[in-house]
């Protein structure tokens, strides 16, 4: 298990595991909407090979991931990932306030 910068210092999942879960979730959404990989490729502008690689290995560029989420109507979930700031210490709050001034 990887050590990360999380507040506890421990990651419950590796980056590969998170990527795999994300790709599975989007594949499941695609299937639920009855969209083939080929159709998603056309609708998103992402190559069919990239979509296949993403669904099999979890590997994709951020731009392609964004295009896929938009084509599947999931862009709000992606947008909301970083909407609220989560602080792990009071020092992070202080540092952010210093940067804003």
pTM score, two decimals? Answer: 0.73
pLDDT in tens, the chain (101 residues): 444 444 555 568 899 999 999 999 999 999 999 999 999 999 999 999 999 999 999 999 999 999 999 999 999 988 888 777 777 888 888 888 888 87
Is 56 within the bounds of a domain? yes
Would residue 84 count as lying in a domain? Answer: yes
Position 6 in a domain: no
Domain of residue 73 covers 15-100
pLDDT at 48: 98
Q: Which two tokens stand for residue 23?
A: 């790709």
33 in a structural domain: yes
Of 47, 73, 74, 75, residue with least CA distance to 61: 47
Inside any domain, residue 10: no
Give domain status of residue 9, yes or no: no
Q: What local confidence, expressed as pLDDT, does residue 9 receive?
A: 54
pLDDT computed for residue 1 by the predictor: 40
Query: Can you read off the two tokens belonging to residue 59?
Result: 């590997």
User: Could you tell me if residue 3 is inside a domain?
Assistant: no
Q: What is the pLDDT of residue 81?
A: 83
Residue 82: inside a domain, yes or no? Answer: yes
Give the pLDDT confidence score for residue 101 in this predicted structure: 74
Domain count, the chain: 1
The CATH number of the domain holding residue 96 is 1.10.260.40
Structure tokens, 14: 């590796």
């Amino acid at each position: 298990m990887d050590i990360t910068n999380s507040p506890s210092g421990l990651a419950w999942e590796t980056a590969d595991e998170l990527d795999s879960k994300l790709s599975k979730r989007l594949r499941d959404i695609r299937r639920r909407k009855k969209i083939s990989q080929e159709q998603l490729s056309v609708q998103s502008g992402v190559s069919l090979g990239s979509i296949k690689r993403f669904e099999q290995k979890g590997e994709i560029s951020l731009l392609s991931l964004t295009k896929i989420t938009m084509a599947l109507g999931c862009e709000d979930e992606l947008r909301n990932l970083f909407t609220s700031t989560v602080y792990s210490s009071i020092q992070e709050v202080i540092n952010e306030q210093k940067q804003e001034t």
